[in-house]
């Protein structure tokens, strides 16, 4: 799995009503989320970019190809 805030190039398997397999994508995990559950509310850019209609998905598998770094953590 990937750590909070990490950005990776990966192959990912998502499970909702159907299984979704995406290959060679950039994925970043938010610092404050319920990972491995991802929601359209939090990950709207990701859901829209890959035309995912479901509202909630579970990350079943991530095959990391390359770790690219970490997001900047916002100071709240």
Q: What is the pLDDT along the chain (76 residues), one digit of tens a residue?
A: 799 999 999 999 999 999 999 999 999 999 888 999 999 999 999 999 999 999 999 999 999 999 999 988 875 4
Structural domains counted in the chain: 1
pTM for this one? Answer: 0.85
47-50 contacts at long range (C-beta below 8 A, 24 or more positions apart): 50/20, 50/22, 50/25
- Residue 17 domain-assigned (yes or no): yes
Domain that holds residue 14: 6-69
């Amino acid at each position: 799995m990937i750590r909070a805030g990490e950005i990776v190039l990966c192959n990912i398997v998502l499970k909702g009503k159907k299984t979704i397999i995406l290959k060679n994508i950039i994925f970043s995990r938010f610092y404050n989320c319920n990972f491995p559950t991802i929601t359209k509310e939090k990950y709207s850019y990701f859901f829209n970019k890959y035309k995912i209609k479901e509202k909630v998905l579970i990350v079943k598998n991530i095959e990391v190809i390359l770790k690219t770094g970490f997001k900047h953590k916002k100071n709240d």
